[in-house]
Chains A and B, each alone.
Chain A
Amino acid sequence: MIPQNLLQSTTQKCTTGCPILDRLLRGGIPCDSITEIVAESGSGKTQICLQLSLHAQLPVSHGGLSASALYLHTEFPFPFRRLHQLSLSFRSSNARHLPCNDNPCDRVYVQSVHSADELLEIMSKTESFIESSKTQLPVRLIVIDSIAALFRSEFDNTPVELKRRSSLFFKISSMLKALARRFNLAVLLTNQVVDMVGPNEGINGLRIGNLGCLYTSGRRVCPALGLAWANCVNSRLFLSRHEEVNREENGKLIGESGGFVCKQTRRKLYVVFAPHLPESSCEFVITREGLFGVEITAC
């Protein structure tokens, strides 16, 4: 056993496709590491995943991994149309770095997963798939969207089942980490949230990361799957959304007369914990072209 030379190893990052978000994440989603995005539905988890899958194809000199992506989805249906839409703007803005007449969607391998056991089976096959893939770009990004969906229904709330569940967590995590290590992969997972019922602290007075910021849609939430799973990821990001009612200058609601209120959603990305990042946050918007950070300038 020989220690690894730290001077020669730098962590590669995969760009998110937005310079502002990349700056917050110091270059993007790191390789040889598991990054988790926690958010309630409709916050933009899947959007980030899709965008990252496309941007992994960029050459290393442009922040990508020059690699294809393996996209495991557990929530149905897979948003093909949105991926296609994103791929159009991705191709037009990065035409110089991509082979022409080529569809970026071809290098996003999509696989559906229905249960935790199936996930284990797929992951054991993934190794040979990555090794044998003769495509011009090797797989260097694994996305699982979402990990929570696999576990939220299948298990009972009894000590034996919970124990089996947490043992599975560690198994999945260590398989992913071993893959990430072996092929220098970036791994991105999404997770859902559960509402927090207790008074101030999390479940059983438990706090994982800086919970103070975990508000979304005016509710206090905490990441699903509990403490055991939190030990399985390296970095955790959180997306929040808040509906804001647009008001006119005189304070009258826009469209009030029409019977419905025009709402605007403010979205924010937080770093909950990460070994290489400070706790920080950034607002972002989701447009037709994708997901972009917004720098708030003092006005």
Chain B
Amino acid sequence: MEIWRLPISASQRGKLISAGYTTLSSLSSISSSDLARESKVSESEALDILKFASHSHSGGWEMSSGNCSIFEGAQNAWDMLHEEESLVHITTSSADLDNILGGGIHCKEVTEIGGVPGIGKTQLGIQIAVNVQIPHGFGGLGGKAIYIDTEGSFMVERALQIAEACIEDMSEYNRFIRKDFQACEIRMQPKDILGNIFYFRICSYTEQIALINYLDKFISEHKDVKVVVVDSVTFHFRQDFDDMALRTRVLSGMALKLMKLAKKFSLAVVLLNQVTTKHTEGSFQLALALGDSWSHTCTNRIVLYWNGNERYAYIDKSPSLRSASAAYSVTRRGIRNSSSSCKRIKMM
């Protein structure tokens, strides 16, 4: 644990750090007079600091981690907040969409994206699988992607097109931001991007469950996987299930495993879902497929819909984001801001 978590004043902290005491363990075997002399604080201050430090070390402070855990690996909310702030999000390539998502698709979370056929679910899935590979230098994760295709809608030619546009955008950004162009030239090729997408084509729900059980092992061997996209989670579960209770159990078991993967490997899970008509009190309404109990299993829920001739995304459920909607468009280059909203900004 580091020194900055101690409840001491900023100046004291600064003095400690400049004297080389950065971790609690470095304070564990030092006398107060030595500390006072080396870090140029008063003796009583040094005494306090050591008191805090030892307290914190033995688990007395609510901010400490690790040692005070009842279970191994448990974290408290404070630690989790800091960890979350340090996590990089996966951009969707549409600034408006990123905006309502709080920066993009979150790692360590399961995000469900649903919408009618042709709204752009697969496009968004491919875009995320490409964007997760944007290197650290460009504000990305520099990770790899697993793409689980249950519907056969993943088209290599389209992925290549999106990858090319992504690299173009990065070199554009490079020219714009950096003066030493040579130093940070992009070495990525569209082919590399395709090579970093682990693509699995699934033809039945048993295969789907088997693959998701296998993912833990696969990702342990490929630690740089940062996103798992399932396109769509629904397709094979909409046939041959007469026993709906069984379906619900199978689905929630699968969702639990995905959630565990997200936490364990700090990766984002994106599940694409279809929509269906729901029959309630004599009227039909549109709802995401797989039923009510499934709707509890995903952390975030995003619904894509048409509004006039524009595509919109709406945050239906999220523990941390307010519900909001944003327009986006599907272009030759991939997911982008809606062109009409760009015009609006220009006019303003």
Contact = CB atoms under 8 A, between A and B. Distances in A.
A33 interface: yes
Nearest to B234: A231
B187 interface: no
Contacts, number: 119
B18 interface: no
Interface stretch (B55-63, B253-261, B270-278, B318-326): B270-278
Given A33-B152, A204-B286, A207-B306, A6 B238 contact: no
Contact of A205 (B151, B240, B286): B286
Question: Could you tell me the dominant secondary structure of chain A's interface residues?
Answer: mixed
A231 B152 contact: no
Given A7-B191, A159-B279, A181 B203 contact: yes
A26 interface: yes
Contact of A6 (B152, B156, B330): B156
Interface string A199-226: 0000011111110100000000000001
Contacts of B198: 3
B85 interface: no
A6 B151 contact: no
Interface residues of A, number: 47
Contacts of A6: 156, 159, 194-195, 197, 199
Contacts of B211: 1
A208 B118 contact: yes
A204 B258 CA distance: 33
A246 interface: no
B29 interface: no
A11 B238 CA distance: 27
Nearest to B121: A275
B116 interface: yes
B159 A10 contact: no
A208 B116 contact: yes
B341 interface: no
Contacts of A204: 277, 284-286
Given A4-B200, A174-B239, A278-B332, A206 B195 contact: no
B236 interface: yes
A223 to B, nearest CB: 10
A241 B330 CA distance: 27
Nearest to B241: A167
B309 interface: yes
A212 B311 CA distance: 13
Contacts of A233: 117
A31 B277 CA distance: 30
Contact of B277 (A10, A26, A167, A227): A227
Interface in B258-309: 274-277, 279, 284-286, 305-306, 309
Interface in B192-209: 194-195, 197-201, 203-204
B239 A273 contact: no
The winner among A34, A204, A278 for most chain B CB atoms within 10 A is A204
B32 interface: no
A30 B277 CA distance: 30
B157 to A, nearest CB: 6
B68 to A, nearest CB: 41
Contacts of B275: 227
B31 interface: no
A209 B203 contact: no
A166 B274 CA distance: 13
B155 interface: yes
B214 interface: yes
A174 B235 contact: yes
A233 B332 CA distance: 22
Nearest to B237: A170
Contacts of B81: none
Contacts of B279: 159
A231 B236 CA distance: 11
B348 interface: no
Interface string A7-36: 101110000000000000010001011100
B153 interface: yes
Contacts of A208: 116-118
B235 A7 contact: no
A177 B151 contact: yes
B116 A234 contact: no
A236 interface: yes
Contacts of A206: 116, 277, 286
> Which 5 A/B pairs are nearest by Cβ-Cβ distance?
A273-B118, A209-B118, A170-B239, A3-B198, A276-B155
Interface of B: 116-118, 122-123, 146, 151-159, 191, 194-195, 197-201, 203-204, 210-211, 214, 218, 234-236, 238-241, 274-277, 279, 284-286, 305-306, 309, 330, 332
Given A169-B239, A272-B118, 20 more contacts: A1-B210, A3-B198, A3-B200, A4-B201, A6-B159, A7-B191, A10-B156, A11-B156, A33-B152, A33-B153, A166-B238, A167-B239, A170-B238, A174-B203, A210-B118, A212-B309, A230-B116, A233-B117, A236-B117, A236-B118
